[in-house]
Every structure is written in structure tokens, then in C-alpha cells.
Amino acid sequence: MLADYHTHCLPWSPDADSSMLSMAQAAAERGLTHMCVTNHIENCAQEPQSSDQFPPFHDWDGLLREFLRVKEALGGRLDLRLGCEIGSPHYLPEEGRLICTQPIFDFAIGSVHNLRGKRDFYYLTYPQDFDEFRPEVEEYLDENIAMARSGLCDVIGHLGYMRRYMARQKKGFDMMLFEDRLRELFRACIENGVGIELNCSGLSDELRGFIPEPQVLRLYRELGGEIITCGTDAHSPDKVGVGIDESYGLLRTLGFKYVCLYKDHTPEFVRL
Ligand SMILES: [Zn+2]
Ligand SMILES: [Zn+2]
């Protein structure tokens, strides 16, 4: 079993570079058994609407049509499922609920890509002195706590997202500096049946590491966290499935017994 539960494709994710069919074919060729298509839906996070945000998305029928066409083309070679990556659904809870309850989706990643009214962490220039950025990280974690409490997603996406972009500017920090907030977040997750994602996109980026890092995953485990999915966050076929094997290895080392797949927003536990 090898499942990539975080992938993007054109035209649904404007920052991707290939079609859903190319992504699914790459997954099958690389030996993946499962893949979930999780395109960006940033309808809730665009406050104020800025030029670097993605356009609002409501073409559920169009997305489902293409998904079914690709699923049919792959036949039994790949267990393909349709999900989404919702940017901060709790910023606009009504819209978040509308997305979450679309019957076309089996799975929803909730991702805080930007603080309220601010730009995506992707676009920021990070200060030399981490203390200047500390309040933003605190606010980021508080937003993740609020998102977990809202229940408007199945898993928390790439926790510590900014570390990917800080590393590109030769900067970084230890998430365990925020252990109190992480504990609060994981307790909120567990109480609300929300899992977390192990995102391996950083392995092939400047970061050279997992998001979140192993110590953070260990804390989640210690607190009783069991729901976890693995995803590459691939935006191109060459990245599909890359690092999933390594992710499973890390989870086993940390004492996780299962990785999750999703059907109708319900986790299916598969033994590691
Ligand atoms: Zn994301
Ligand atoms: Zn993504």
C-alpha cells in the first residue's frame, strides 16, 4: 500500500503544471496503489481579495466529471479518490461548510496558507531575527487550533507550512518552541476527530525535512493522536509519490501503527 493523499493538477490548481490524467498515470507508473486529488479551494481565505490568491471555485460538476473520466482511464491500476485542500475554512465558516459538505469530496485537507488579511507565507520575506516573526507563528498556530475546533476539515495540512519558504531564505526555527500551543492544537484535533498530515514536499526542497518535523509528530502520538495521512503536495508528475515510502518509515519509527485513507470524510486505518 502506497498512498499519496495530497496532489494538485491543472486547471483546478493554477500553480500546478499538469493535468489530472498525467498525475494519476505518474502515480500508477511509480507503483502507488492510492492517490487523492486535492486541489486548492481558497474561497474562504481571500480576505481581502488579492492578486496572488486563486479565483473562487464552485465548479463541482466540472471537477467531478473530469475526476470520473480519469478514474475510468486508470481502471483498476489506481484507487483514485477526490478530495480538496481548503485554505482556512474557518475564516468564512459558512463557505467552508458548503465546500466540506459537497458530496463529490471524500477528503478535505485544511491548510492555513495565510493569516487573516495577510499574504500567503509563500510571498513573505522573513526577518533575520526569528523573534520578530514569533508573533506570526503564534497567530498561525492559533488559527490551526481554531480550524481544528471548527471541524471544517479532515486533517490539518502541512503544519509549519512557512518552514518550507523560510528554508529557501536560509532561515528556520524549531516548532517545539511552541510546544504549549502544539499540545492545545493536538488536543483540539483529537477531540474533534480531525487528523494531521505528514507532508513530505520539504524532502526535495531546501528544507530537506518533513512537515511537520519528527518531534512534532512524536508529540501528537504521545497525546494519543492516531489519524494521519501522508502526501507529497506534488504540483507536477515527477513529484507524485516521492517520499511516501520514507514517510511510512518515519511513522513506524515513531510508533504509529496506521496510516489513513478517507472515504466520505471517514478515516480508513491501514496498517503500516
Ligand atoms: Zn498547501
Ligand atoms: Zn497543497
Give the CATH number for residue 258.
Answer: 3.20.20.140
pLDDT tens digits, residue range 29-50?
999 999 999 999 999 987 655 6
Cα–ligand 1 centroid distance for 159 (angstroms): 10
> Which bound ligand lies closest to the C-alpha atom of 234?
2
Cα–ligand 2 centroid distance for 8 (angstroms): 6
Comparing 26-30, 50-54, 84-88, 155-159, which segment has the lowest mean pLDDT?
Answer: 50-54
What's the Rg (C-alpha) of the chain?
17
Instruction: Report the alpha-carbon distance of residue 242 to residue 203 in Å, rounded.
Output: 9
Cα–ligand 2 centroid distance for 99 (angstroms): 16
Instruction: Report the alpha-carbon distance of residue 54 to residue 13 in Å, rounded.
Output: 8
Q: How would residue 19 be classed by pLDDT, with cut points 50, 70 and 90?
A: very high
pLDDT tens digits, residue range 185-211?
999 999 999 999 999 999 999 999 999
Q: Would the pLDDT of 268 be above 90? A: yes
Question: What total of structural domains would you count in the chain?
Answer: 1
pLDDT of residue 39: 98
pLDDT tens digits, residue range 116-142?
989 999 999 999 999 999 999 999 999
Give residues whose Cβ lies within 5 Å of ion ligand 2: 85, 233
What are residue 212's phi and psi, to 5 degrees?
A: -75, 170
> Which bound ligand lies closest to the C-alpha atom of 6?
2
**Using CB atoms within 10 A of its CB, is residue 126 exposed (0-12), middle (13-18) or buried (19+)?**
buried
Q: Would the pLDDT of 98 be above 70? A: yes
Mean pLDDT along residues 17-22: 98
Query: Which of 93, 10, 60 minimizes the C-alpha distance to 68?
Result: 60
Residue 19, domain extent: 3-271
pLDDT of residue 47: 61
Cα–ligand 1 centroid distance for 113 (angstroms): 6
Cα–ligand 1 centroid distance for 182 (angstroms): 19
